[in-house]
Amino acid sequence: MKSIRDSLEFPEVPARHPGRHEVVDAVLSRDGERIPVVVKKVPLDVRQRLTTPKAMRSLATAQALVARGLATPEPLAAGIVGQESWYVARRLEGAAQMRAWFLHRDDPARPVPPLRFSFEEVVEALGKLARRMHDAGVFFRDFTDGNVLVTNEEGKLRLWLVDLNRARVGVGPVSRLRRYRDLARPGLNRPEDINLLILSYFRPEPVPSEALGTVRALRRGIVCWDDFKAFARPWRA
């Protein structure tokens, strides 16, 4: 039986995408077609060996998102290769991490985002995406600006969810607290930016009285926790 590794062709110097785990470009050969893909390689730790490897969780979640009409790069395969689990998805040409807009917002000396959408357009689109995602029963759990890709499709902004292994897919809408937890994950730290995200999320409905304060408080907690992890585990910075 042909393994996932046998179906993939890597360039001599594969392009690597940002992230803690190795994510590289490759070409998948399938039914006579050569498909440009990205491959995420995650080392198998003890927890994954006892449960479901992250690549398989990513594949199942991606398929569930597609079934619910949520955008994620087309899931193609997952498997175990040596001491790693590999997840394979179709490569989005010209995609950029949403993080580029957020970093430039906080520090204008940072590179200008590669696609000509404004920061406000991106945040408003993120709020709308989060609402569709939650109403479809998806609690993302790692809804950071690094896990959302931006593409330009004939002048129209489109967002894509990636890095799916922590997401939970249920049968009904997500609870309000879980919604707020996801909304606190993107790297928005200015009150006015968080306000824009929340307004976009609830529009045209009125914003619940506790929403802004709850999301801001959760955001402060996330920032403090991230600072502590960076101090305690500098090798993962």
How large is the average pLDDT for residues 61-73?
97
Domains of the chain from N-terminus onward: 5-90 (3.30.200), 96-236 (1.10.510)
User: What pLDDT is stored for residue 1 in this prediction?
Assistant: 46
Does 49 have pLDDT greater than 90? no
pLDDT tier for residue 237 given thresholds of 50, 70 and 90: low
| Other residues' Cβ atoms within 10 Å of the Cβ of residue 18 | 9
pLDDT tier for residue 13 given thresholds of 50, 70 and 90: confident
Average pLDDT value for the chain: 92
| 84-127 tens-digit pLDDT | 999 999 999 999 999 999 999 999 999 999 999 999 999 999 99
For the CA atoms of 123, 129, 135, 138, the dihedral, rounded to the nearest 10 degrees, stands at -110
Residues, the chain: 237
Does 41 have pLDDT greater than 80? yes
Global pTM? 0.92
Q: Where are the alpha helices (DSSP H) in the chain?
A: 46-50, 54-67, 99-106, 119-135, 176-183, 191-202, 211-232
Backbone angles phi, psi at 118, to 5 degrees: -75, 160
Cβ proximity of 168 and 133 under 8 Å: no
Cβ proximity of 46 and 65 under 8 Å: no
